[in-house]
Structure 1
Amino acid sequence: MQDQEATARLSAEALAAGDPTGWFERLYTEAERGDSTVPWDRESPHGLLVEWATARELSEAGRRALVVGCGYGRDAEYLGRLGFATTAFDISPTAVRVARERHPGSPVTYVTADLLDPPADWRRGFDLVLESMNVQALPPRVREAAFGAVGEPVAPGGTLLVIAAGREDEEDPPAAPPWPLTRGEIDAFGRSGLTPVRVEDLRDTGILRWRAEFHRPA
């Protein structure tokens, strides 16, 4: 509950100030002081990522991966262990710094970057792009731009994997983030020339989650 209160408070203040993504850095700095906790701070990589990778027996030495909104690096470190040359970014400088501190000697490259204004050389530069539970934390006007931006770094022949909380089309979105995504919003990740491979509607104890795989033709 404290986690939800912090995200609701900080996101509302950021939206009111016209800075819809500024609350991420504020949350991480508050967490570092012990005044808040980061709701998505976990010790292990996301289970839906691990399940997906295990089913494909991924071992990807020499291939490049990009992790969107990496936070403290749990998913990025997992992809690094699989052999991907992994770059992980977050809009929060504090999150990036703490990720480096938590994983000394890591092969993962952690950088501060904005999804909507990324380095030019990232375009079409990665064999795997992972978007896990990030776009759902963005307000509608930013989220619309993010759908296409997430797929831009996927190289020809590459894959985008999206993991997100879900809601039915007729459900009203909650007042504060995260805002679970509808099926139509999941489909929107294909806007940058990607082809849907598989969109999984996963329900655990009645809670809808999406795992969606997209491919860029070679």
Structure 2
Amino acid sequence: MTAEQTPDPDPDVASRRLAAQSLAENDPTGWFEKLYAAAGEGRAVVPWDRGGAHALLTDWVGTAEPSGAGKRALVVGAGMGWDAELVADLGYDTTAFDISPSAVAAARDAHPDTKVEYVVADLFDPPAHWRGAFDLVVEIYTVQALPIHLQPAATQQVTALVRVGGTLLVIAAARDEVDGVEIADEVVEGPPWPLTRAAIDAFATGDVRLIQLDKQPSPSDPALYRWRAEYLRD
């Protein structure tokens, strides 16, 4: 690895720098491709790439024991594909998408024998036939990677993908608190822009209701907290 290829020693700093550049260009989602392309060239590290499925997803699978036989699943913001691979192993006909072509290519390369259909798509403009089409929708860290003013629209798009009788699972960083009060939006320096309790509640709209909510320490850093929310579309 040459000096030009040396990744930033702090992946969070690198991702925030790329996000700031994209925001300055009025392209709030463009930094995902920049980050994954740089990672593919050895110039960056994807800070949320865990090398395996998210621990809170794995725990949910072990507790809920979902059966995917004859059902369809969608993974939002597929990244390197670890979460999608776990979902597919449950028997779901699984689609996973990312706005970054480099991320989709990397996921396909990482899982050459995959059963997942990895596709490039934009959460803000998904294929029309995806609307209300999936028995399980898994959203991990995508909404929180968007600036706060875009999160409500992203939340609506995620919810719209769940079919009647289907499940939505959301895992996200929880907004920090000071003396039991969530810090204000203008204080948060993202990415990520962790979700407030109100932002979690916003996934429950219309005939989608929250049926289980956990807030627990992050598996990787006990000082940070994560939401895991499960919703059902009636």
Q: Please give the range of the TM-score, normalised by the shorter of the 2 chains.
A: over 0.9
* Distance apart, 1:211 and its partner CA: 0.4
Mark the runs of 5 or more structure 2 residues left unpaired by the alignment: 1-8
Q: Does 1:83 align with 2:95?
A: no
Q: Which runs of structure 2 are paired with 1:53-132 in the superposition (5 Å)?
A: 53-132=61-140
Count of aligned positions: 217
Q: Deviations over 1:131-161 (max 9, x none)?
A: 0111101002221201111111100000000
Q: Does 1:170 align with 2:182?
A: yes
Pairing partner for 2:11 from 3, 26, 32:
3
Q: Is the 8 A contact 2:213 2:230 kept in 1?
A: yes
The residue type equivalent to 1:55 in the other structure is T
Q: Is the 8 A contact 1:137 1:177 kept in 2?
A: yes
Q: Which runs of structure 2 are paired with 1:6-45 in the superposition (5 Å)?
A: 6-45=14-53
Q: Does 1:216 align with 2:233?
A: yes
Q: TM-score, normalised by structure 2?
A: 0.89
* Distance apart, 1:206 and its partner CA: 3.7
Q: Is the 8 A contact 2:156 2:203 kept in 1?
A: yes
SS of 1:190's equivalent in the other structure is: coil
Mark the runs of 5 or more structure 1 residues left unpaired by the alignment: none
**Among the aligned pairs, what percent are the same residue?**
52
* Distance apart, 1:192 and its partner CA: 5.4
Q: Does 1:194 align with 2:208?
A: yes
Aligned twin of 1:182: 196
Q: Is the 8 A contact 1:133 1:165 kept in 2?
A: yes
Displaced runs of 4+ in structure 1, greater than 4 A? none
Q: TM-score, normalised by structure 1?
A: 0.95
The residue type equivalent to 1:18 in the other structure is N
Residue 113 to residue 192, structure 1, CA distance change in 2 (3 Å): farther
- Name the CA distance, whole Å, in 2 between partners of 1:201 and 1:24: 27
Q: Is the 8 A contact 2:148 2:193 kept in 1?
A: no
Q: Is the 8 A contact 1:148 1:192 kept in 2?
A: no
Provide the alpha-carbon RMSD of the alignment.
Answer: 1.3
Q: Deviations over 1:23-73 (max 9, x none)?
A: 000000111111111011122100111111111222322211000000010
Q: Deviations over 1:101-120 (max 9, x none)?
A: 11112110000000110000
- Name the CA distance, whole Å, in 2 between partners of 1:97 and 1:206: 34
Q: Is the 8 A contact 2:169 2:230 kept in 1?
A: yes
* Distance apart, 1:201 and its partner CA: 1.7
Q: After alignment, is 199-208 or 12-21 more displaced? A: 199-208
- Name the CA distance, whole Å, in 1 between partners of 2:217 and 2:16: 25
